């Protein structure tokens, strides 16, 4: 699942994941939609933006972790602060990805999990 309020980021990540062999990629542009998809579909991989229009991605990370401990959640953000990184790791994120990112960076994170 790709959660980001920017359509081009969602499309880019979706294409990368599909090229890596991920068959089904859900998309959400806000936290409410993301939470509904997560609860219903329980995706194995999640790329979650910190800055969403309706809720902070860190809050969603906590909710997702309470719902499912087995999903691999990667936080993404344009803001690469130490606080964001620490909060993501403490919240159970697998990694913190800084925008803009490359297909190679995403592949390096996802390949070992496939």
| Range list of H helices, 1-114 | 7-19, 31-41, 57-67, 82-90, 103-110
Our CA angle for 17, 2, 51, nearest 5°, is 140
The predicted model gives 74-96 an average pLDDT of 84
Residue 28 pLDDT > 80: yes
pTM score: 0.93
Residue closest to 77 by CA, chosen among 58, 97, 101: 97
Return mean pLDDT, the chain. Answer: 93
Confidence of residue 19 (pLDDT cuts 50, 70, 90): very high
Report the range of poorest mean pLDDT among 2-11, 39-48, 79-88, 95-104: 79-88
């Amino acid at each position: 699942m790709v959660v980001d309020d920017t359509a081009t980021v969602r499309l880019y990540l979706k294409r990368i994941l599909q090229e890596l062999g991920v068959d089904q990629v859900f998309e959400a542009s806000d936290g409410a939609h993301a939470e509904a998809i997560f609860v219903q579909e329980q995706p194995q991989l999640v790329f979650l933006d910190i800055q969403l229009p309706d809720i902070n991605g860190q809050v969603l990370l906590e909710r997702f972790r309470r719902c499912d401990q087995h999903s691999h959640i990667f936080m993404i953000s344009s803001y690469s602060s130490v606080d964001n990184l620490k909060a993501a790791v403490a919240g159970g994120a697998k990694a913190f990805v800084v925008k803009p990112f490359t297909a190679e960076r995403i592949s390096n994170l996802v390949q070992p999990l496939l």
